[in-house]
Amino acid sequence: MRAKTALIVSFVLVCLGSGVQKARAQATNAPVASQPATVPGLPVSPAAARVPQAPPSIVAGIPVNYNEAKVGSYTLVDPLIMNDGKPVKNAKTWWEKRRPEIEEIFEAQQYGRDPGRPADESFDVTDQGTPALDGKAIRRQVTISFSKDPSWPKIHLLIYLPANEHKAVPMFFSINFGAVQNAVDDPGITPQEVWDPKTNTKEMPPKGRGFGRLDVTPLLDAGFGVATYYYGDVDPDYLNGFSNGIRVHYLKPGETDRGPEDWGSIAAWAWGMSRVEDYFETDPAIDAKRVAIHGVSRLGKTVMWAGAHDRRFAAVIASCSGEGGAALSHRDYGETIAHLTAPTRYPYQFAANYAKWGGFPDHAPMDANLLVAMVAPRPLLLQTGNTDYWSDPKGEFLAEVAAGAVYKLLGKDPLDTNEWPAARTPILHDLAYYMHDGGHGMVPTDWEIYVQFLKMHLHPER
């Protein structure tokens, strides 16, 4: 059985007292091997401030490889070769035949099939537009309902718009590990509850800086709006949370559990992002055709699938998404499918079918290069850290390299290099890559690169 994994340092939601969300130690599946990522405004791991630990050699009983010499050889599935072996020679064949083939594989074998837009979806704008953040922003708060049944989950969406803009603005939409009231220092935010995995109930989290903070000022100053929601609004993030999430409401008659191709939590969180895009299309202050989505770690995996699956999103920024996201599964380095789908870890995040590839990733019909290709021709930035061994930053770079031919076919600029860049050396083409000097999470230079990337591709001045 192939293996991959690393220093396991999970994103930990800073929870005092009641212990709400203490198990956010599961939230990254990632190592810490360097200085802490202290970014005012974006999710970081509080554990990163601790003394670095040596990578574990075994996780969930499965060996781990961090040695490039032991990666082995592998052959990736070519995004421009059809299932029947015929080559894809033009954009028409890509859009009409090959891309649907790839999407079908990911739905059936990795993320699972979602139910699409709910017929009874509705939007309740509970905060129509209140001046906030010392006059820099207009705050909106929206409750997104999926059913007329009040017992169903609901998204509590927080939005900030630049106060001085009089045209529809592009958006930076970040899916969040924490409650919206802990994302921004704003007393006007309506407090929301989060899931406690120990009790399988929702509780009010403690106040404080917490995990998932957003510093919206640089984005507002650049002409972007900012939006976020707590991912647990859609589906809880722990093994026994299924009965409290959205997925239980879509079981077929007579079913008590999901089938092998039914959606996992990552697909549910991505589905929630699409429901937010549904709302954006109704708000005249938001340019719904210029929405960039962002997520870190397992939420980096989420935005990879959301961007691949929902072509309405204009750009994707995936931070440290690793295995199950932008890192190559065929490459034996860091975390593997087997680690992700081990029964005590994260099998609920994926389609049940995904686990069958744990011992045979080299036989899997899908890999991250195909996922990256599905985002084409839209801008995609993969942000990593050079000591985030668990997430395999080189494997993410190589996935972009292997997807470059699709970007070229569609008239866009790929990375234009096969040489893995050094840390702090951004490549900001339509396919973009940036690796900070450090581990899992974000550092201030990442934030600067984000804003630069967004300004290049979403043009807030227009």
Reading the block at residue 448, the tokens are 């600067």
Residue type, 16: L
> ∠265-203-302 over CA atoms, to 5°?
20
Choice among 34, 45, 297, 319 that is catalytic: 297
Question: What is the H or E stretch that residue 302 is in?
Answer: helix 298-309
Please name every residue paired with 127 in a beta bridge, in sequence order, or none if there are none.
141
**How far is Cα 257 from Cα 254, in angstroms, rounded to an integer?**
9
Reading the block at residue 247, the tokens are 């997925």
Name the pairing type of β-strands 201-203 and 427-428: unpaired
Cα pseudo-dihedral 172, 96, 262, 253, rounded to 10: 120
**How far is Cα 135 from Cα 186, in angstroms, rounded to an integer?**
12
DSSP label at residue 110: I
CB-based contacts of 16, cutoff 8 Å, min separation 6: 206, 208
DSSP track, 197-256: TTTTEEEPPPPSS-SS----HHHHHHT-EEEEEEGGGTS-SSTT-GGGSSGGGGPPTT-S
CB-based contacts of 421, cutoff 8 Å, min separation 6: 397, 427, 433, 435
Q: From its phi and psi, is residue 349 left (phi > 0), alpha (psi between -120 and 50) or beta?
A: alpha
- 440 tagged catalytic: yes
Tally of residues, the chain? 462
Q: Which residue shows structure tokens 């972009």?
A: 400
Residue type, 427: I
Is 361:2 a contact under the CB 8 Å cutoff? Answer: yes
Q: How far is CA 176 from CA 225, 400, 440, 444, in A?
A: 16, 25, 16, 18
| Phi then psi dihedrals of residue 288, to 5 deg | -65, -15
Choice among 309, 339, 429, 440 that is catalytic: 440
- 297 tagged catalytic: yes
CB-based contacts of 78, cutoff 8 Å, min separation 6: none
Q: Kindly list the catalytic residues.
A: 297, 440
